[in-house]
Every structure is written in C-alpha cells, then in structure tokens.
Copies of this chain bind each other. A is one copy, B any other.
Amino acid sequence: MQRCADYFTAAETQVLRPVLESFVARGKYLRSSFAYLGWLCGRPESGAAARAIASLELLHAFALIQDDVMDDSATRRGEPTTHVQLTDWVRGRQQPVGEPDRFGRSAALLLSDLCLLWAERMLRESGLPTDAMARVWPVYDQMRSELAVGQYSDLLNEHAATTSFDTVMDIARRKSGNYSVLRPLQLGAASAGCGPLVMQMLQVYGIAVGEAFQLRDDLLGVFGDPAVTGKPVGDDLRQSKATSVIVAAYDLADPVQYQQLRDLSQTRPGPHDDSEEAWVRAWQEAIRATGADQFIERLIAERVVIATTALSRTDAVPNLPRDMLITLADRCTRRSR
C-alpha cells in the first residue's frame, strides 16, 4: 500500500487514497495466500515473491470496484461500495458537480483502472529474476483475460431459469474458481519454477477448491448472514442470477416446486421494499424444499476430498505448504463470509 500512496499526490485525488486503503485492508487475502503457498512449493520465503504476489490484492481491488459499478451494488465488505462512497463524498463537497451518481461511478471506474495498472507495475517491479517473470506473465495474462471473459459470459447467462447447470459450473470455474484459486497457485508455483509433477498436483487441487469456493459463495448468496458476509442477502435472487444453487433448485424441482420458483422470480420486490425479507425467506424455503442446498453441500464436500487427497498422496509438495493448503481448502469452503 505504501507504494500506491506515492501516486496520490495531487490534492484533488486525496479522497481516493483512504477509500482504496480501507478497501484493501478489509480483504480476505485469499488469492495472495494461495499464490504464496504456490511459491513455497518450490522455493523458500522471499521478499521479491511476496511483493510480486501482493499485487494480486490490487488486481482484486480492480475487479471488485468495477464489478460493484456494473452491478450497482450498495455494500461490499460491510461498507458502502466504492462508487457509493465517492458519490457521497462529492455530494458533501462545496463545489457541486453535475450528477453525483455519475461522478461516483466514473471516479470508481478510474480508481479501478489505476488499481489494475498498479497491480501490473508492482508485479513487474517486484524484483523477481527475469526467468521467473518470463514464467509468470503467461499465467498472469491468462488470469486477467479469463476474469473479464468470464464476467462477460456471466452477463449473458444471468437468467437462472434458462441456464443449464453445466454452463453455470463452467462459468463459475472460469470466472471465480480459476481466478481465486487455480491461477494464483499456478502463478506462485510457476514463479518458483516448480516441476511438472507439482504443477499437476496443484492443478487438481486448484480446480477442485476453486469450484468448491464458488459453490460456497453461491450458497452464501442465498442463505448467508448479511452481518457476516458484508453484502445484502438476496442480491442474487433479485437479479435472477444463474448461480449454482438457484439453477440446481430449478433442475431438482418437481412440477409444483418449479412453478413456485418461477412465480417467485417474477414477483421480485425492489431493493428497499418492505416485503423483501418475506420474499427472500420464501425463496430460501422453496430452494430448501428441492434439496438444492444439500446437493450443493455434497458437491463442495466431494471437491474438498479430491483436493486434499491429491496433495496427501505425494511427497513432491513440501510439508509446510501442503499442510497449509489442506487447511485452506477447508477454511475457504466452510467460510461464512
């Protein structure tokens, strides 16, 4: 973060700094943890690797800030989203601007651009040797492109009722799973120069945990406690988002349950409507009635077993990162936020 601070020198950009700092400080550091464990599979602790990998948090800040603008989300990590903070800030300012909402969205997008640029610069200037960087760039490029292409696919498949479960899992893998788990692991391991055996093991682990991570996220999107997740429950439902648990509910529903789900999706209340809580509860009950939540829980448990078994069966991965990866597989698929 100290590096970033250097960029915020002009008086007029001062507001961006605390907004970004508090944003990054509230993160889970999931991606950087996976990447550093990937590194430890091949090499001992290193300041250059830590700097390179910390850049993933800035990349993630880019993704979340932009995502919140696109979805027009109100809260993130328990606080108002970046564009909402910037809108509020400009509203309270002496000199008026034309449309505070438009200002907030545009300023947030520009801040996200800066995060994307700084992430890349931080990685490039991390001090990793040239041969390590040559192995890192292809993974990094793929990770960033997948993120954008995955989000784009997500936009086209928002309607739960018309999406197949395979499509949902495929998008989940590309958009979130790969981005959150597999690519960070590969990035760390590639920079450490790990051999093909370790890379293959990490791939099995990464795909399985990435999918489980996304499945948990989908469950939290419907059943999570807003006080813990930091985002309002029901957003996925309100947007009729094709998440795994919602699509599974349609797939598993008998004709009566199916009609009930369709009815619910067509009566969605506005975000501040009083009847909303009841509507969300009705959804939760309807989904539970189909058994979709238990189905997803089973898929998660299976994937954690696949991941930990893959790691346990080999000596190729050193003890420390292996044990931590097993712990992390459990933590990030049982999490409540």
Q: Is A30 at the interface (CB under 8 A from chain B)?
A: no
B117 touches A156 (CB 8 A): no
Which of these, B7, B105, B148, B158, contacts A98 with CB under 8 Å? B158
Indicate with 1 or 0, residue by residue over A131-153, a CB within 8 angstroms of chain B CB atoms: 00000010001001100110111
B97 touches A117 (CB 8 A): no
In this complex, the member of A96, A98, A144, A152 whose beta carbon has the largest number of chain B beta carbons within 10 angstroms is: A152
Give the interface segment out of A108-116, A254-262, A290-298. Answer: A108-116
In the assembled complex, the CB of A112 is this many whole angstroms from the nearest CB of chain B, namely 9
On chain A, which size bracket covers the interface? 35 or more
Tell whether A151 pairs with B70 under 8 Å between CB atoms, given A95-B159, A98-B158, A117-B144. no
Chain A interface mostly? helix
Nearest chain B residue, comparing its CB with the CB of A238: B98
24 contacts between A and B (CB under 8 A): A7-B149, A10-B149, A12-B152, A13-B149, A13-B152, A16-B152, A66-B109, A66-B113, A69-B109, A72-B102, A95-B156, A96-B159, A97-B156, A97-B159, A98-B158, A98-B239, A98-B240, A106-B151, A113-B144, A116-B116, A117-B144, A120-B120, A121-B137, A124-B137
